[in-house]
Structure 1
């Protein structure tokens, strides 16, 4: 039976052939709500278990993250400039589904979420207090490396982790025409035989749990930040119930967006968000110490290029300062946890592009957006600290991230307006990330969902409310370590899953386009005519 087209979105509603996959949906929901119950029932035990799990993973398996993430970056460069660079992710006659601006906006808004707003001002200050590479704290060198390390954690390696799964997913959807939007489907070239079906269910379940773990980090950071902004704007106490009110409004926003679908909801939110982010960055650059910001940015690029490989593998095995585990490893795990989801989402919206266009677009646009935001906001915060205009380090140690970010924003001209804009930006950033997450979670738990179809609305809403439930549990325990550990622990099993994905796309390309290709876009239809 043919799908019915949605006149507003241009997408199709699910056909009768698509249905809920209970082998993935039920176990994932059970584990998710069991985790929520655990967080709500015993705060101290949850903190203890989270701390122990994080120590076990970082102590024994941290090296795996370093090797895997760097290897993924190298592989993405080879794929973007190698013999398969011009393979078209679609049929010969198919054009690009989204304009470059909307495509970039959806990727950027969903790919980084509110984490960028949370960390952009304070991450360099954390590194100033406890500097990497055994540099003396609060020194001028610590300030330079602190500004640079934030750019390193949010640019090329992370976005490469998003780009490669996107290639595999888009290839499966638009070249091989596979009937489902799942990571397991993209691994089909290497998962065959009688073990394929149970392995597929296991892979999809692990992807869902990893995504829930990654989304929980965004929620754990995002809700307190927006609550602090709301309390500052309306001059009300920042309490647990204020946070619950923020979460309620947030759930309504991203629940509505998820219900509306990909083009009517997520694209519109993303377009709004990208213009708002650009306006805020330009405002801070203009009213802040412009020359200092630009000088710090230039200096950080040089430092990063000069130390890129060393930072990618630095685990501090002798001194055991704890910096790599607390920061680089946490970030790599956070990106790995989100990578399958972003691969599914980016792959879904990339029909008609070539492999080179997809990889360079994801890595290029994503890195440019993050580096621009972090360079400007981070340098502004460092200037406040070094000139004594605001004791940012002291505030961060005493009050935590949300209150410190609010205090920094309040130093800007027209602080009331800017606080309101930051609140709106934070709302939409997390909404675009979480509605993308709910969209993908619903897609993974649906069987036979084609690339031009959307999962059922009740399925999307179920996952939207499940993510909101996780947020309630995290707000109850109120611990950054628990948030970080949830990401690292759930990300570890995804490394072999992503490894399978990279193996599968390599085999697919070699089997379908084995010989060296030319410098023009080539589709599978062109190869079949030869």
Structure 2
């Protein structure tokens, strides 16, 4: 049923899931109300909860992400790799480049620009292990730690959720909501199961928090960019205008549909970012940067297992809590909407293709990006030319702009980065709004315009209210804490996925065997013109 027919029949919001809609809205508003009335109270409780989770259960999050990576790689390169997300005749809805660009923009595109300079510099100046800080030996260590946080674990954390949702939805023609990922365990009872409904609710609330986080990052980076490029100091009014414009833009993009707004903006932005990275590589220390990249691949692969399972048993510092475990908490809390959106755009892909292009290719691209951008920043900082780290400590959004001051056409490049940041924010937020609208609309693949507009504007208004009250950071922390139990949900989703894969593989294999038996049981053609040889007909000539 298309949007216009659905709207005429069910009204502005279409046929939506009323319990999920209102429970998500009420829970979100309660958290926001506390953030407005007493932001410090919410921040204290949320920070304490995050600290408790990190210190007491950090090992569990480290182990969980390691398991997800191992299981995901095994699925992609095992006998199940040829199974499709959908029916045998289904073909991909988007070209491979557009598909990868969309999942890149939805996942961590804005983070690349925000942290491309900042994170490698932090690990270089405050190296936690394997090297003394701010030494030549610290450079490869800083880069490989950054690869850990932006590589296999992050992409697989999102994509294992995407696989768990996409496989039963496309394979069995089911609604695309988070709860359907339990189909392999619950079967036809899934849609009415309390566990599936609970998974839907946790995922929806985590998604709203995820959008708030995206907008919060946007305010930091865009606010600095406006001052740096245009010389305009933005107060609260300016920040409100920024969020309002972003909210209108990502709502319009979500309303325009996947094949127009989202796909176009994602593809455009990825092309711009590739060109930007190549420019920095060519005009910078090309040889050194490529050596960082090549050496970094070896360091990353060689130390992947030790870094993956390092949980700091002595807990001498809080480094792992504020870096690795914090990242894994973000991945887990964001996985419902990133994974769900990736699932929506992946019909027709085989599981092996999914793992290669949605996990391995982005991982290599991430390594190249941080080698070039982060390596350039470390080189300039180490040479003492510009104190980039001081700027980053003062404002994390300053890093890439300060870096560009050491390159030709810095003014133009800063404008390019600024525009790219805006587009990445739009594509991340519109993906989230699109996914929330899908959940509220009972998992339909194309929600009504009214539902997409409602959640797009709702999240924008929430961000403005939180910004004025000073509670934005508190709600971001609270959303991460609220989404953390989803780690348990992912475990059941993966278990369900494995059961579905086993069943579908056996079914397909059985079908192939039956076809072979059927062919072999047919009477042979005894004519002089054709001879049957191992099931293949060859025409003979005199």
TM superposition score normalised by structure 1: 0.90
The structure number with the bigger radius of gyration is 2
Task: From 360, 364, 372, give the equivalent of 1:364.
Answer: 360
Hey, what's the Cα distance between the residues in 1 that align with 2:195 and 2:276? 46
Separation in 1 of the partners of 2:96 and 2:147? Answer: 24
Question: Is residue 212–residue 472 contact of structure 2 (8 Å, CA) maintained in 1?
Answer: no
The answer to whether the aligner puts 1:434 opposite 2:429 as a matched pair is yes
Q: Tell me which residue corresponds to 1:493.
A: 485
Shift of 1:43: 3.2
Give 1:124 deviation, angstroms: 1.0
1:127 aligns with 2:127: no
Q: CA deviation at 1:402?
A: 1.8
* Other structure's SS at 2:82 match: coil
Distance 2:459 2:363 in 1: 27
Show CA shifts across 1:349-405 (max 9, x none): 1111111111111012321332222221101110110011111222223x2212343
* Alpha-carbon separation, structure 1, partners of 2:418 and 2:470: 21
Higher deviation after alignment, 64-73 or 168-177: 168-177
User: Size of the alignment, in residue pairs?
Assistant: 513
| RMSD, aligned α-carbons | 2.7
Q: Is 1:247 the counterpart of 2:243 in the alignment? A: yes
The answer to whether the 8 A contact 2:35-2:472 is kept is: no
Does the Cα contact within 8 Å between 1:334 and 1:487 map onto a contact in 2? no
Kindly indicate whether the alpha-carbon contact (under 8 Å) linking 2:114 and 2:399 is maintained by their aligned counterparts in 1: no
Partners of 1:106 and 1:260 lie apart in 2 by 15
In the aligned structure 2, how far is the partner of 1:368 from the partner of 1:411?
26
1:281-430 alignment to 2 at 5 Å? 281-397=277-393, 399-430=394-425
1:505 equivalent to 2:501? Answer: no
Query: Structure 1 stretches of 5 or more lacking a match?
Result: 7-11
State the Cα distance separating 1:236 from its structure 2 match. Answer: 1.1
Q: 2:457 aligns with which of 434, 440, 465?
A: 465
Alignment gaps of 5+ in structure 2: 520-542
Q: Which residue of 1 aligns with 2:22?
A: 26
Distance 1:315 1:118 in 2: 26
Give yes or no for contact 2:377–2:403 (8 Å, CA) kept in 1: yes
Classify 1:319/1:350 alpha carbon distance in 2 versus 1 (closer, same or farther; 3 Å). Answer: closer
* Number of the residue aligned with 2:233: 237
Q: Partners of 2:412 and 2:84 in 1: how far apart?
A: 45
Task: Report the Cα offset of residue 14 of structure 1.
Answer: 7.4
CA 1:448/1:106 → structure 2, altered by over 3 Å: closer, same or farther? closer
d(CA) in 2 for partners of 1:415, 1:483: 35
Compute the displacement of 1:207 (Å): 0.4
How do residues 208-287 of structure 1 correspond to structure 2 at under 5 angstroms? 208-287=204-283
SS in 1 for 2:184: coil
Answer whether contact 1:57 1:488 (CA < 8 A) is retained.
no
| Paired residues of 1:108 and 1:365 also in contact (CA < 8 A) | no
Deviation string 1:59-91 (CA, Å, 9 cap, x unpaired) is 121111111101011001110111111112222
Q: Is contact 1:39–1:473 with CA below 8 Å preserved after alignment?
A: no
Conserved in 2, the CA contact under 8 Å of 1:158 and 1:332? yes
Instruction: Tell me, yes or no, if the aligned pair for 1:165 and 1:498 is still in contact at 8 Å.
Output: yes
C-alpha separation in 2, matches of 1:63 and 1:376: 32
In the alignment, the residues of structure 2 paired with residue 287 and residue 448 of structure 1 have an alpha-carbon distance, to the nearest angstrom, of 48
TM-score normalised by the chain length of structure 2:
0.88
2:506 to 507, 514, 517: 514
What's 2:68 paired with?
72
Superposed displacement of residue 103, structure 1? 0.8
Assess if the C-alpha contact under 8 Å between 1:333 and 1:487 holds in 2: no
> 1:220/1:352 Cα in 2 relative to 1: closer, same or farther (>3 Å)?
same
The 2-side partners of 1:255 and 1:156 are apart by 31
Compared CA separation, residues 43 and 447, structure 1 to 2 (3 A): closer
Alignment equivalent of 2:94, drawn from 76, 94, 98: 98
Structure 1 residues 474 and 144: alpha-carbon distance in aligned structure 2, compared to 1, 3 A threshold: farther
| 1:180-227 alpha-carbon deviations (Å, 9 max, x no partner) | 110101212323669953222211110012222333332222221011
In structure 1, C-alpha distance between the alignment counterparts of 2:233 and 2:36, rounded to whole Å: 23
Deviation track 1:228-273 (CA, whole Å, cap 9, x = no partner) reads 1122221111433322222122111101001111112111111111
Aligned to 1:9: none
* Contact kept? 1:33, 1:466, Cα under 8 Å: no
CA distance, structure 2, for counterparts of residue 478 and residue 115 of structure 1: 22
- Superposed displacement of residue 36, structure 1: 2.2
Offset, 1:300: 1.9
Partner of 2:50, secondary structure, is helix
> Residue 136 of structure 1: SS of its match in structure 2?
coil
Q: Shift in Å at residue 41 of structure 1?
A: 2.3
